[in-house]
Structure 1
Amino acid sequence: MDTATARTRLEALLADLDRSTAVLKSEHPERELSAADAGSNLSDSDRVEAALESMGRHRAAVEAALARVAAGSYGRCLGCGKQVPEGRLEVRPEAARCVTCQAKHDRAMR
């Protein structure tokens, strides 16, 4: 994938994440809970918080990919230095590693 296309896709993904985050935050503003509904809202609150955290991690990965585009290293695996397969970048334009190195990274993070 050429860097211009990658930059465009990554910027669109970043905008989508920002919109989704804003919508989720506006639909679930913090509010006082009565004792009666604290239990049911706690699980909703936990789900919203988990979604926001996930979107935050995804946003950070997209920003890191945009930095790699700017640095001229986009598409190179952070693990082995080889070219990340085109198909992987098509599916996950923010991918920083080839599938093999990503699997190793994921196992090390557990």
Structure 2
Amino acid sequence: MPDTAAAKANLEAQLAELQGRLDRIETDLAEPLNPDLPEQATEMQDDDSLGGQAELAARQIASIERALERIDEGTYGVCVQCGADIAEGRLEARPEAALCIDCARGQ
């Protein structure tokens, strides 16, 4: 059985870091574009990259929030697909993991 207290602390720390990163990205994206057209093109490319980073951070946040819900429900460490226990090593590497390694590989 996984150490849910340690996992919860780890997940909450990751969540806070990701939320801070997402907040900074959103602040950067909210800045008006430079009136200089060549500079605008560069800023738009940067904004596209930041948008992708924001999407990734939002997906990671959602995954962590679901893991925290599983901890609260008492189902953390159990594969949501097949019901088998998720290996301790997998949870150490990916504390937000919802699938056992076999289900994650599509087996």
Matched, 1:26 2:24: no
Runs of 4+ in 1 over 6 A off after TM superposition: none
- Paired residue type of 1:66: L
Provide the identity percentage.
Answer: 36
Measure, in 1, the Cα distance between the counterparts of 2:34 and 2:87: 49
Q: How far apart are residue 33 of structure 1 and its match?
A: 4.4
- Equivalent position amino acid for 1:46 in 2: D
User: Closer, same or farther in 2 for the Cα pair 1:104/1:33, shift >3 Å?
Assistant: farther
Structure 2 gap segments, 5+ residues each: none
Taking the aligned partners of 2:80 and 2:87, their CA distance within structure 1 comes to 13
TM-score (norm 2): 0.86
Output the CA distance in 1 between the equivalents of 2:71 and 2:31. Answer: 37
Aligned-partner Cα distance in 1 for 2:47–2:106: 33
Count of paired positions:
105
Instruction: Give structure 1 stretches of 5+ with no counterpart.
Output: 106-110
Q: Distance in 2 between matches of 1:103 and 1:9?
A: 25
Partner residue of 1:108?
A: none
**What is the deviation of 1:36?**
2.8
- The alignment's C-alpha RMSD in Å is 1.8
Give the alignment of 1:3-18 within 5 angstroms. Answer: 3-18=4-19
